[in-house]
Structure 1
Amino acid sequence: MYIDIFNEVVDIMENDYAGHQDKKGWDSPDTYRESILQLNQQGHLDDYTFIKIVNDYLLDFKDPHMFFISKDESSSTNRDIGFKVRRFKDALYVTETTKETNIDTGDKIIALDGLSVNELEQKHIKELMKEAPERQRWERVIEKYNKALIEKNNNENTVLNLSLYEKEIYNPLHHAERLNSHTLLMTLTDFFSSESIEKVLKDHDLVMKNLKNLIIDVRKNRGGSDASFHQLLQHLFPAGKTSVSLDNYKMNFNITERTANLQINGLRSLYQETSNESYKQSLKDMINFFESNTGKGFVSLDNGGDFEVEGSEFPKNIVVLSDVYCGSAGDIFVDLAGRSQKVTVIGRATAGLNDYSNLINKDWNDVFSLYYPTSRMEYLDKGEKDTGIEPDIYVEWSPEHLFSDIDLKTALNFLGTK
């Protein structure tokens, strides 16, 4: 079973993936295929190990916008180290704990199995994708080791035996709260559904109509569909009509038969689940697009040019909080929002995931799911790359962020001057 699934993953990556032409010859599937066969013969191959091998193979394509996971989020194979870290200088600071109880927020990892963070960075260039330290993702690297040397908050050193735990199930957050009489904080952790955002806006409709300051926190936004946040745009732009160019989002879809079928089925499911008429029309247009172009390979989606936003006087001032954990549709939201004269982006650059985007998932036996990009941006032909949307006001991440929301304080200080 495992080898058959892996062979199909390879086929998808070498034919259906939107970057397959740009990255032809980058992958070395035989190396991973041999590991799968050998481990299977030895009786050492299980679902978790297989998922790790496939994700290591996907690293060959140097694209963070794809992943291979357990289809059931609550599956015992869906495991991680039980905490999250972020790098600052020569240490990895624990930013959040979930299942691991022997480590605390603020503790810092200074070595793994005797290797310093700088040594580990050189060893795991592939996994870390040569990102700047504050943008590096270390959790998968830590999974490969047995012991972590920890410097505790009291400066004492201890050794943590690393373990794997069932992952915490993701709980989306679409919420707004008053910070003071003239400031509303809206937190959006994804753009998967238009209904949840619509509810937040409806619940605060009267507030929005005469609001001075709005802060939108998308620092941990997982993306989704840009159609889901379309209803927010009217609040982001000033009163009157504003023309917004989408020329930098011209893209081509690689519409193989397999990808077309997956896209159509996925879009039809979304169509059935939503009641928002504008969103339904967008989904219907995309279904027609894939149906009429099935099997044609790369086809341009006519999504360039300008579109008009009818803005509003309120909120008067808007801050968008951004970070590297905001990606995909989150990248696009920060980009579009930042074009408004009412909006100031504060924090750090977004993930920058949209060179290859519009992910679709291929499932196997309700056990595994491969998410891979199906569209390619035309700007790649000019040698341009998506490196994330830069903030207007950059705030360096530091361990101080673990105990105080420095970004939010910066936003409130900034708005206090408006």
Structure 2
Amino acid sequence: MSKQITNSVVGQARDETYRKMFHDIVDLMHHDYAGYEDKTGWDQPEVYLDQFIDMDDRKFVDLVQNYLFDFNDLHTGFTDLLNPKKDIGFTVRRFEDKLYVTSSTNEKRIKTGDQIVALDGVGIKEVAKKYEKELRTTIHERQKWEPVLLRFEVAEIETKQGGQASLALRSYEPIPYKAEYSIQELQKDILYMKITDFMNHDAIGELLRHNEDKLSTYPFLIIDVRLNRGGSDLAYFNLLPYLFEGGKVELRDFSNDTALTLCTERNVKLRLQMLEGALASIQDEETRRQILMMMRELENHRGEGFVELNLSELEENLVFETKSGPNKVIILSDVFCGSSGDSFVETCKHSSKVTVLGRPTLGMNDYANVAFKVWNNRFQLMYPTSKSSRVDEGKGMSEKGIQPDKYVKWTPFHLKQDVDLTMAVQELYKEK
């Protein structure tokens, strides 16, 4: 057999392997994804089936990700575990028809404040129309452009000094994410707390214990969750007693929506695997007890479809006694705050002494409680296994997020000054 024929046979076999995985993914999204009933007909898998020719790993990941865009769910994603997605090396935010550089990490040839006015000779407005599905929204300040930039070769730049340049775009290995949980004195009577995720229960609990005196005595508190990546609601429950007043608080009084968990065989298996992994890294006994209770409930309802899990033991967390805390609290929010970040902001809005300031959160929680399915220890699909009853009531948060009490439009002036923080301080000193 000639080398050419051998390569052809190998290529066809490889394409068939990718095609089989894709069929598995479609089957999962049609039966195990929590939004499968609500979004029936949204996806068009047949459009992608004729693209399995000369397929490779990178093309396959792109194809599956494009397919998942059809569901318009930020809790879905597909990644190559051995070859993580490259990074453009900087971040941008759209204002009108320019992309303003908001930070520069790996890419040193571009500076904060520089503006991208065209990509491969095409204006930003036209690019946005072409990649509307990937950008997910027409609201400029909510669009995420970095993955789209990876598709282009040259960016036309207007520097903040007024010059013009062409930048050959490169891709970089992403810089590992590092969480930040901090409390510091902003002014003599204002504490500033920054929490970039709710993933590390132990670290957040330790932060609160070490700063209990400050949280109990400072009159004003600013909590910055503008970059919060989410995690677990359990991680922020111990902070809530400082943010509410009036003795006993029952969080159930603030919402009538319930979580409906899709307990298919596959979902229960994958969720149990993930929760077992979480147990290995959590020391807090109360958190461990709650996870074990969740695992028992999932096992009890294996194969039953949509179920409202009996988490009555967990509900004792939804009732707490308030503690001596700040008189006024400002929470800074933005579109980069999602998942448990959404939940935190939504919960705190019910406190009479909390004001949320900034921009609406990401709005990820219509469908939540993700599971991870892995093929060949290589490709990983993330998808949600539960949905909020508010979806059926037409009150979902997708594409809208949790609205702030005081909206602050993002403008390029934010690159010169932390406008949100300045306004937060002004709001704290304002008389009631």
Short-chain TM bin: over 0.9
Answer yes or no: is 1:382 the counterpart of 2:393: yes
Aligned AA for 1:347? G
1:38 has 2:49 as partner? no
Residue of structure 1 aligned with 2:101, choices 94, 110, 126: 94
Q: Which residue of 2 aligns with 1:113?
A: 120
The match for 1:207 is 214
Match of 1:18 among 11, 27, 34: 34
Q: Contact 2:156 / 2:166 at 8 angstroms: preserved in 1?
A: yes
State the distance in 2 between where 1:379 and 1:230 align. 22
Residues 233-272 of structure 1 mapped to structure 2, 5 A cutoff: 233-244=240-251, 245=253, 247-272=255-280
Distance verdict in 2 for CA 1:267–1:308, change over 3 Å: same
Quote the residue 1:56 is aligned against. 66
Shift of 1:249: 3.6
Indicate the SS of the match to 2:368: strand
1:275 matched to 2:283? The reply is: yes
1:289 aligns with 2:297: yes
Partner residue in 2 for 1:67 = 77
User: What secondary structure, in the 3-state scheme, does the structure 2 residue paired with 1:7 have?
Assistant: helix
Alignment-mate amino acid for residue 342 of structure 1: K
The code of the aligned residue for 1:170 comes to Y
The aligned counterpart of 2:353 is: 342
Cα shift readout 1:151-171 (whole Å, capped 9, x = no counterpart) = 111111111111211111111
Provide the rounded CA distance (Å) in 1 between the counterparts of 2:19 and 2:183.
Answer: 47
| CA distance in structure 1 between the aligned counterparts of 2:256 and 2:164, rounded to whole angstroms | 50
How many angstroms does 1:103 deviate by? Answer: 1.2
Separation of aligned partners in 1, 2:103 and 2:233? 29
- Contact kept in structure 2, 1:250 and 1:302, CA below 8 Å: no
Q: Does structure 2 conserve the Cα–Cα contact (< 8 Å) formed by 1:239 and 1:313?
A: no
**Is 1:315 equivalent to 2:326 in the alignment?**
yes
Equivalent pair of 1:76/1:166 in contact (CA under 8 Å): no
Deviates more, 1:285-294 or 1:114-123: 114-123
Describe the superposition over 1:319-365 as per-residue Cα deviations: whole angstroms up to 9, x where unpaired.
Answer: 11000000111000001111101111111110111111111211233
Question: In the alignment, is residue 397 of structure 1 matched against residue 400 of structure 2?
Answer: no
RMSD of aligned residue pairs (Cα, Å): 1.8
Larger radius of gyration: 2
Q: Residues 94 and 272 (structure 1 numbering): CA distance in 2 closer, same or farther, change over 3 Å?
A: same
1:9 aligns with 2:25: yes
CA distance in 2, matches of 1:303, 1:407: 38
Residue 365 (str. 1) matches residue 372 (str. 2): no
Gaps of 5+ in 2: 1-16
Kindly provide the CA deviation profile for residues 237-286 of structure 1, in whole angstroms up to 9, marking residues without a partner as x: 11411232253441211111111011111112222321222212221221
The amino acid of 1:376's aligned partner reads K
User: Does the C-alpha gap of structure 1 residues 339 and 254 become closer, same or farther in structure 2, counting only changes over 3 Å?
Assistant: same
Within the candidate set 336, 360, 376, 1:325 is matched to: 336
Alpha-carbon distance change, 273 to 12 in structure 1, aligned in 2, over 3 angstroms:
same
Query: Is the contact made by 1:328 and 1:352 (CA closer than 8 Å) also made in structure 2?
Result: yes
What is the Cα deviation at residue 84 of structure 1? 1.0
Contact (CA 8 Å) 1:237, 1:340: kept in 2 or not? yes
In structure 1, C-alpha distance between the alignment counterparts of 2:292 and 2:132, rounded to whole Å: 42
Q: Which residue of structure 2 lines up, in the alignment, with residue 146 of structure 1?
A: 153
Letter matched to residue 254 of structure 1: L
Aligned length: 409
User: Is the 1:16–1:374 contact (alpha carbons within 8 Å) kept by the matching residues of 2?
Assistant: yes
1:263–1:360 Cα contact (<8 Å) kept: yes
Whichever residue aligns with residue 305 of structure 2, its letter is G
1:357, 1:309 → 2: CA distance?
A: 25
Judge which range, 242-251 or 221-230, deviates more. 242-251
Q: How far is the alpha carbon of 1:119 from its aligned partner? A: 1.1
Query: Residue 92 of structure 1 aligns to which amino acid in structure 2?
Result: L
SS in 1 for 2:203: helix
Give the distance between the partners of 1:191 and 1:101, measured in 2 at CA: 31
Q: Contact 1:251–1:375 at 8 Å: present in 2 too?
A: yes
Out of 395, 412, 425, which is 1:412 matched to? 425
TM-score (norm 2): 0.90
Q: Retained in 1: the 8 A contact 2:259–2:389?
A: yes
AA at the equivalent of 1:151:
E
Seen in structure 2, the aligned counterparts of structure 1 residues 315 and 388 have a Cα distance that, compared at 3 Å, is same
Please tell me whether the aligned partners of residues 339 and 363 of structure 2 are also in contact (alpha carbons under 8 angstroms).
yes
Partner SS state of residue 217, structure 2: coil
